[in-house]
Structure 1
């Protein structure tokens, strides 16, 4: 399983970006198998998307909980996912998550931050499209 990680500080749009990526997958032939809410944030979710490029893609948007990310990786690997895409909050070590991520081939993408030059919406869409291109 390959892991693609969207990394950034809390409240920078990682979950929103993962949601945009998820919708891109579904609008390009992917099929949701079992979308489930995660944690207390109503926007956090997990799912497995199938039939996009004949891949089984695990999605996990809750990036603040190191243990949950680590367990998600194990769970999706046990379900024979080809790709696992997750968010990961930086600013604290996230030792369990990083140790688990590093056991797999992985790509880490820094979350683009909104600024005077780019809106939050543009940053999130640009990052989602970048992730989409890596699949």
Structure 2
């Protein structure tokens, strides 16, 4: 499976998890605030993508520092080498998905607008710049 195919599979899985699992978690009162939403999304994505995570050396990280900002979740490719001598962040060779989430009940649009700026930053800077 090439990178584009992996990204398409990941994209569809994110959408499926959001519509089905996150909706069910919300309806069942599992989501207190943004962190529990992020944790639930991580949990469901890890379960749904389990078969490709190991096969393609992919990982899902929360609070991923990328392009000068911190992404809520990132799905990355690790280098696959067994000689982890440094920090795990240094083993990341590609980023396949960046996910920003918001869990707000009313109030200002500023948090959403800030996340839109972050997403724009992810898009406009080359992946090698992280």
**Which structure carries more relative contact order (alpha carbon 8 Å, separation 6+)?**
1
TM-score by length of 2: 0.34
Larger Rg: 2
TM-score by length of 1: 0.33
More helix by share: 2
More strand by share: 1
